[in-house]
Amino acid sequence: MAAPPGLRQSGTTLTLERVSSPSFPAIRMRRTRAAPWSRALHAETRLAPTDLIWPLFVREGSGLEGEPIPTLPGVSRWSVQGIAERAQEAAALGIPCVALFPNTPRELRSPDGAEALDADNLVCRAIRAAKDAAPQVGVLTDVALDPYTSHGHDGVIDARGRVLNDETCERLVAQALNQAAAGCDVVAPSDMMDGRIGLIRAALESEGHQDVQIMAYAAKYASAFYGPFRDAVGASGVLKGDKRGYQMDPANAREALREVALDVAEGADSVMVKPGLPYLDVVARVRDRFDLPVFAYAVSGEYAMIEAAAAADMGDRDALVLETLLAFKRAGATGVLTYHAAHAARLLG
């Protein structure tokens, strides 16, 4: 009988010999995959409801019924009362944070987005309702003017249609303070103006909102995956031109690291990469380079593709959702903003 690998036989004596590199059959990679208990024990990436942030859309009106969004099957716009119920649902599911986005009526939109500064606007009312209903659930709010402007851009524009950086930053500071005063836990500037993180951080500190976090949309790309979101917030058909003058070019990854570095230096508590799956390489680079929480946004187009595949019997919804979320975690994301948050939390138990 031949000696086992790694041993040398001389007569009846077996002695160890140096093995330059382990190989089959000494190494069988399938051993640890064979049983469910072993797969669980050896899993490198863990996914839990606490990894999720649930984006919610707020509408005017009353009642608890959601208003379905055709381009986002299974997602609805909710009244302020409905948002309070969703916050309670998040608490029951173990989801630690909800993110609020308003569907501002057309008549309240204006060139300068003045509605963003109203202390009783949709988002501010929804913040108060969510915190009253479920104080233990964090509330994240979007800081940008596009839900409030009649031209659909994230900032103030001049006569030539250019978005003005510094003038916009002044309004973003006021918007962030308005949301903080309403009781939000995290402000998330998504506008991609230069310098706004430092200005917002200074204003929050000076106005007594030291505990309000800033999650910076540090690497937000000018993406084709935002279409259903614009339907959800009532921006479809409103936008004049495009946002390539301030959102990032999808061709660039190293530029994202510069953006993140600036936001970190200005006082961001965490940063975000948006969209998600098409930019997992950026998530991984940011995670490797910076020692702070990195979030990814699985945007509306990504959600819609999974739902379309499931509806067409081209994939199992549950498996697609969980595999996608694991991909974010494997790339290094601290957490994920996803419209599948409630569904995923139920699957995860």
List, in sequence order, every residue forming a beta bridge with 157; answer none if it has no partner: 163
The full DSSP string for 81-107 is: HHHHHHHHHHHHHT--EEEEEE---GG
Residue with tokens 């950026």: 282
241 vs 179, higher pLDDT: 179
The neighbour count for residue 245, using CB atoms within 10 Å, is: 13
The topology under which CATH files domain 47-348 is TIM Barrel (3.20.20)
* Residues carrying an active site annotation: 220, 274
Domain ranges of the chain: 47-348
pLDDT at 14: 66
pLDDT in the model for residue 3 = 64
Q: Work out the average pLDDT over 198-227.
A: 97
Range of lowest pLDDT (9-13, 226-230, 251-255, 269-273): 9-13
Distance CA 347, CA 304 (A): 19
Q: Which tens digits make up the pLDDT trace of 286-302?
A: 999 999 999 999 999 99
Q: Amino acid identity, residue 25? A: P
Q: CB of 342 within 8 A of CB of 75?
A: no
Beta strands in the chain (DSSP E): 7-10, 13-16, 52-58, 67-68, 76-78, 97-102, 138-143, 186-189, 213-220, 270-274, 294-298, 335-338
104 has a pLDDT exceeding 70: yes
Instruction: Give 149-198 pLDDT, tens digit per residue.
Output: 999 999 999 999 899 999 999 999 999 999 999 999 999 999 999 999 99
Peptide bond connecting 25 to the previous residue in cis, omega within 30 degrees of 0 = yes
In this predicted structure, the answer to whether residue 5 has a pLDDT above a threshold of 70 is no
Give the residue with greater pLDDT, 16 vs 225. 225
String of b and e for 224-240 (b: at least 16 CB within 10 Å)? Answer: ebbbbbbbbbbbeebee
Q: Is 259 annotated as a binding residue?
A: yes
What does the pLDDT read at residue 238?
84
Would you place residue 44 in the very low, low, confident or very high pLDDT band (cuts 50, 70, 90)? very high
| Distance between start and end Cα atoms, the chain | 52
In terms of Cα–Cα distance, which of 130, 132, 155, 153 is closest to 78? 130
| Burial readout 39-68 (b: 16 or more C-beta within 10 A, e: otherwise) | eeeeeeeebebebbbbbbbbbeeeeeebee
